[in-house]
Amino acid sequence: MKDQSIYLLGRYTAKPKDPRMTAVPGYMRDRNNIRYDEEIAIVRGISSKDRVNHNVVLNLTEEKVLKNSFGENYDFAQLFEYFYKGFGEQIDRGINQLNASR
C-alpha cells in the first residue's frame, strides 16, 4: 500500500554572510558568519532519498518527527510551530491541494 501520509520536508543551505571573507582561515567555522537559506515542501508520501536530502522531515498526518538533523531535541509541536510561523500559508495551501487531489 502506497504511503498516503502528508509530510513537511525542510532543507537548509549554509552560505557565508560575506562571501569576500571566505579566504580568511576559520571564517566559516564561526556560526556568526553563516546564514541559512531555508526551503520547505509539502508532499504526500516520501522516499528514502527525501529522508537523506532534507534536514527536517515531519509526518504531518501522524504528527511525528522523522528527522531533525540540527541536534536539538525538539518535539513535533515545537518544530511545526516554527515552520508554521514562517510558512503557514504555504503549508495550508499544500495540504489543501494534496487533500483536494485525492
pLDDT along the chain (102 residues), means of 10: 88 91 89 92 94 95 93 90 95 93 72
Domain ranges of the chain: 6-100
Comparing C-alpha atoms, which of 88, 99, 4 is closest to residue 40?
Answer: 88
Residue 28 CB-density burial (10 A; 0-12 exposed, 13-18 middle, 19+ buried): middle
Q: Which residues contact 29 (CB under 8 A, 6 or more apart)?
A: none
pLDDT at residue 1 in the model = 55
- pTM of the shown model: 0.83
Dihedral sign for Cα 75, 76, 78, 82, please. positive
Cα(83)–Cα(2) distance, rounded to whole angstroms? 26
